[in-house]
Amino acid sequence: MSKFEVVWNSEVAFDGCRGGESWWSEHRTIRFVWTAVFSLALVVSAGCFSSGTMGRTGVGGLAVGDEAPAIDIQRIVHGTPMDMTSNKVKVIEFWATWCGPCLAGMPHLSELQTRYGDEVMILGITSEDSSTVQGFLASEAGNGKTWADVVKYRMAIDNQDATSTAYMRAAGVSSIPTAFIIGKDGTLKWIGHPSSMDGPLKAAVEGD
């Protein structure tokens, strides 16, 4: 059964509690709001948002405290080259051009990159091809700016899903955007949704 079928059936069930179709017809605004809230709950429960508690799912799985896997990318498509072996704090974020929450979080990631400057290296990694990403960066982001203007951190193309496999699959994560914070010592400090990483990132920067 699809999510849309679940929502439709939930309306039918709710009709029975409130007196049938006549009640819904008279309260269209309530019906719309209730359905929207219910749909959002389904999206969240389906795993579209990451959690800071994600981690090891089995023997050999990746979790906070483990040594960070190697970052294997084809090329940087936005921003300057980066030293993958540097002992600076790194944020690896997995995203895609078709992912609405990923795009919505880009100004936040850009603000963090600007705030910490050279202390932190944020790298957004996608499995899409270079032409798709370049086209996205050149597209309109609003207020007369392109996405290339908005994004203040580096972006890269994954090398045949090598980095996604080493991080996302190994940690048992399937939803994007998801961020991994790598500390100065090269170990994973946090895994979760980028919108929730301000505190963990600050701790990683101020830590040893």
Contact (CB, 8 A) for 102 and 95? yes
| The pLDDT of residue 51 is above 70 | no
φ, ψ at 187 (rounded to 5°):
-105, 155
Phi-psi region for residue 117, left (φ > 0), alpha (ψ -120 to 50) or beta?
A: left
Write out the two tokens for 107.
């100004």
Per-residue pLDDT tens over the stretch 92-116: 999 999 999 999 999 999 999 999 9
Quickly state the pLDDT bin for 8 (edges 50, 70, 90).
Answer: very low
Share of the chain above pLDDT 70, in %: 71
CA angle 155, 160, 163 (to 5 degrees): 60
The Cα–Cα gap between 189 and 1 comes to 38
Non-local (6+) Cβ contacts of 165 within 8 A are none
The burial class, CB within 10 Å (0-12 / 13-18 / 19+), for 48 is middle
The pLDDT value recorded for residue 44 is: 38
The Cα–Cα gap between 137 and 130 comes to 10
Q: Which is it for strands 89-94 and 120-126: parallel, antiparallel or unpaired?
A: parallel
Contact (CB, 8 A) for 189 and 103? no
Sketch the domain layout of the chain as residue ranges. Answer: 3-45, 73-206
CATH topology of domain 73-206: Glutaredoxin (3.40.30)
Point out the least confidently predicted range of 59-63, 85-89, 102-106, 133-137.
59-63
Write out the two tokens for 18.
């409130």
The pLDDT value recorded for residue 84 is: 82
Q: Is the dihedral of CA 7, 11, 13, 14 positive or negative?
A: positive
The pLDDT value recorded for residue 55 is: 56
Quickly state the pLDDT bin for 177 (edges 50, 70, 90).
Answer: very high
Packing angle, helices 28-45 and 3-18, rounded to 10: 140
Taking residues 176-201, what's their average pLDDT?
A: 97
Contact (CB, 8 A) for 179 and 192? yes
